[in-house]
């Protein structure tokens, strides 16, 4: 099939590339000419494992192309995916900013040729699809089209695997023609019997928010339980295993940490709260999830302060990992962005390392952080080390070497990567999240 992606951000680029890998012909459009030029030269603007190889392969085989010529890309498309950004509104009220969606709808409208399905891939509030429909009709009254919703459930760092082997595909469609188009697009997944969940459009839109809010709630739940474990000396890892093996609960997303971050959970939980409030309802569990997440970051600052003897002033603290999770260079809403400035403010000296995130970190972090070549350099002469993001390369550190390099031996494992016993054996004081 001939598909067009509007927007070559994270979602558009990954989705477009994977559709090309399915065998479809995909044109990715972006207004940002320099980004398109880069993509045409094979430069990938984000770090996502495996994406560069997959882009190169599909470009080489003639199924994937990049352009800023919207008119041509729209005219030839059987389906157009809107994959533009829906950031939190600049009004600061938590609403999703739909400017880019509405603008894209307006711009594609005059160029539609033949029957086309316009599919919202971006995470958008319920009712957005009907606005898209209205805008297209206003700008092209004779256009033959349907709108549909097809939310994405990709995790950064694992997006290609998530796309190729999804737990389910949700399609929000209200005409047979649109359903047929969506089913044809996802036909390559039928062989592996991926369930296709067909809903009306509003339900599909809301399903995405509900999925992210539920996952975020699971994390906030285990983070609160971890704090209780800290207080009473219980072990949250064993506890999570004990509850997670109950199939009704499930073991995933029960890892305590410094609070969830990224471009999705923080934004989508806020947006869902606002959607509910607009309809006269309060989603109290989602509200609590957001509050607990903010509190978790503050509690991590206190944990670090206590670990270094009650005051960070004059202490050198090594920080391993800055991104909101491993396998990405994304710093958006990373807990490090809240925790590190709080430590700096109180007079800590910070030496940080991240395998892929340091360039992005430099753009958002306050000045004064010393960026190092590797974990050992970060730890040299440090009073404490914080394992902030669980990159693979931090999972098997030479702890004896680390101990030899550090001034004081405090290991703050905010991702519970190490067993307390192993770290203590190397002469460290171990502080985890919900276990010690």
Residue reference for tokens 């709260």: 273
Site string for ligand UGA, 397-426 (x = CB under 6 A): ------------------------------
Q: Does 153 bind ligand UGA (CB under 6 A)?
A: yes
Listing DSSP states for 60-107 in one string gives HTTSEEEES-HHHHHHT-SEEEE----PBPTTSSS-B--HHHHHHHHH
Tokens representing residue 408 in the block? 């004081």
Q: CA 141 → CA 138, 144, 177, distances in Å?
A: 6, 9, 19
Site string for ligand UGA, 156-195 (x = CB under 6 A): x---------------------------------------
And the tokens for 160?
């290609």
213 or 283: whose CB is closer to ligand UGA?
213
Which member of 31, 57, 106, 155 binds ligand UGA (CB under 6 A)?
A: 155
Q: Nearer to ligand UGA by C-beta: 53 or 251?
A: 251
How far is Cα 243 from Cα 259, in angstroms, rounded to an integer? 20
- Decide whether 253 or 376 has the Cβ nearer to ligand UGA: 253
Structure tokens at 165: 């082997």
Residue in 18, 229, 264, 379 annotated catalytic: 264
299 binds ligand UGA (CB under 6 A): no
154 binds ligand UGA (CB under 6 A): yes
How far does the chain reach from its first CA to its final CA, in angstroms?
55
CA dihedral sign of residues 133, 136, 141, 144? negative
CB within 8 A of 359, min separation 6: which ones? 329
From 87-95, 180-188, 189-197, 261-269, span contacting ligand UGA (CB under 6 A): 261-269
**Is 264 assigned a catalytic role?**
yes
Instruction: Decide: is 215 part of the binding site for ligand UGA (CB under 6 A).
Output: yes
Q: Phi/psi at 136 (nearest 5 deg)?
A: -65, -40
Binding test (CB under 6 A) with ligand UGA, winner from 145, 324, 428, 430: 324
DSSP secondary-structure letter at 415? T
- In angstroms, what is the minimal distance from the CB of 61 to ligand UGA? 27
- Minimum distance, C-beta of residue 334 to ligand UGA, in the bound complex (Å): 7
Report the residue from 265, 394, 418, 428 that binds ligand UGA according to the rule CB under 6 A. Answer: 265
- Name the 3-class secondary structure at 358: helix
Q: Which residues bind ligand UGA (CB under 6 A)?
A: 123, 152-156, 212, 215, 219, 253-255, 257, 260-262, 264-265, 268, 324-325
Catalytically active residues, by annotation: 264
């Amino acid at each position: 099939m001939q598909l067009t992606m509007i927007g070559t951000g994270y979602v558009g680029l990954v989705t477009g590339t994977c559709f090309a890998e399915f065998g479809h012909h995909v044109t990715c459009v972006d207004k940002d000419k320099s980004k398109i030029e880069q993509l045409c030269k094979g430069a990938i603007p984000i770090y996502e494992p495996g994406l560069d190889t997959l882009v190169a392969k599909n470009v080489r085989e003639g199924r994937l192309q990049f352009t800023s010529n919207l008119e041509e890309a729209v005219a030839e498309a059987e389906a157009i995916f809107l994959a533009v950004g829906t950031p939190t509104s600049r009004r600061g009220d938590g609403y999703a900013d739909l400017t880019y969606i509405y603008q894209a709808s307006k711009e594609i409208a005059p160029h539609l040729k033949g029957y086309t399905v316009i599919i919202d891939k971006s995470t958008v509030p319920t009712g957005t699809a009907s606005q898209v429909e209205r805008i297209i009709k206003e700008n092209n009254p004779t256009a033959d089209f349907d709108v549909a919703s097809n939310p994405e459930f990709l995790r950064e760092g694992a997006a290609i695997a998530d796309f190729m082997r999804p737990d389910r595909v949700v399609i929000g469609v209200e005409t047979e023609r649109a359903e047929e188009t969506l089913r044809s697009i996802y036909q390559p997944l039928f062989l592996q019997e991926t369930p296709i969940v067909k809903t009306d459009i509003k339900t599909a839109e809301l399903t995405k928010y509900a999925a992210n809010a539920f996952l975020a709630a699971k994390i906030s739940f285990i983070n609160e339980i971890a704090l209780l474990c800290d207080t009473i000396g219980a072990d949250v890892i064993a506890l999570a295993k004990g509850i997670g093996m109950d199939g009704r609960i499930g073991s995933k997303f029960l890892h305590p940490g410094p609070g969830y971050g990224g471009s999705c959970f923080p934004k989508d939980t806020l947006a869902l709260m606002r959607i509910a409030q607009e309809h006269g309802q309060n989603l109290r569990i989602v509200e609590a999830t957001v509050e607990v997440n903010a509190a978790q970051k503050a509690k991590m600052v206190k944990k670090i302060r206590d670990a270094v003897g009650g005051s960070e002033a004059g202490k050198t603290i090594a920080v391993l990992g800055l991104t909101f999770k491993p396998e990405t260079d994304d710093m958006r809403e990373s807990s490090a962005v809240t925790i590190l400035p709080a430590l700096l403010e109180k007079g800590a000296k910070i030496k940080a390392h991240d395998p892929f995130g340091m360039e992005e970190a430099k753009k958002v972090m306050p000045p004064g952080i010393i960026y190092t070549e590797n974990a050992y350099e970060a730890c040299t002469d440090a009073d404490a080390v914080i394992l902030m993001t669980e990159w693979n390369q931090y999972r098997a550190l030479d702890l004896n070497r680390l101990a030899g390099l550090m001034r004081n031996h405090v290991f703050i494992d905010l991702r519970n990567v190490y067993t307390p016993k192993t770290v203590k054996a190397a002469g460290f004081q171990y502080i985890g999240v919900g276990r010690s």
